[in-house]
Amino acid sequence: MDSPSPSRRKALALILAGAAAGLLGGCGFHLRGQSDFAFKRLYVGIPANSPMGAELRRTIRGGSDTVVVDDPKQADALLDVLQDSRVKTVLSLTTAGVVREYRLTQRFTFRLRGADGKELIAPSQMMLTRDLTYNEANTLAKDYEEQQLYRDMQSDIVQQLIRRLASVKSL
């Protein structure tokens, strides 16, 4: 039996790709695109050189047509960061009293106000936790794992925050 010609393979591949796209579109799947904010100029009340501030600004610039401004007087909306904290607590100990597991917690509290002071999003808190096993023999690796977990939690918080900001439909 002869194999299909290259042009027939291309046509078959296109048909299959179209069918897959149709199935994904039918189930509600869509690529994360531009966020459409009700405001076009946003003041972010967290230092630009902090890890959270840098990631938040980068995400807003890259995923929307909103501009992050440095002066609150130029902004259509103001994002007030009320709390951004990380806490590391002991979760469990061995029988010898050595730490076996930690719980990492990151809390982020914010509110969104319009330029006129009207509250668009009331003070809201996001809290994420991750558990981290610990072993003294792998201290360097566990320190790296801890930092990676905090970076992942920060990225999750930024994505949640973007979705909450996009939920505001009017100033």
Residue 60 has pLDDT above 80, yes or no: yes
Report the distance separating Cα 146 and Cα 130, nearest Å: 9
Whether the CB-CB separation of 43 and 78 falls below 8 Å is answered with: yes
pLDDT at position 9 is 76
Q: What is the mean pLDDT of residues 42-57?
A: 93
Average pLDDT of span 29-48: 77
pLDDT at 34: 65
Q: Residue 87 carries which side chain, given as an amino acid letter?
A: V
pLDDT mean over 141-148: 94
Closest C-alpha to 145, from 136, 133, 127:
133
Element (H, E) at 120: strand 119-133
Is the pTM above the cut of 0.85? no
What order of strands is seen across the sheet that includes strand 41-45? 67-69, 41-45, 77-93, 99-114, 119-133
Q: What is the mean pLDDT of residues 137-149?
A: 93
Q: What does the domain layout of the chain look like in residue ranges? A: 36-166
Q: What is the pLDDT of residues 72-110, one digit of tens each?
A: 999 999 999 999 999 999 999 999 989 999 999 999 999
- Kindly indicate whether the domain formed by 36-166 is annotated with CATH number 2.60.40.10: no
What integer pLDDT is reported at residue 31 of this predicted model?
45
- Residue 71: other Cβ atoms inside 10 A: 8
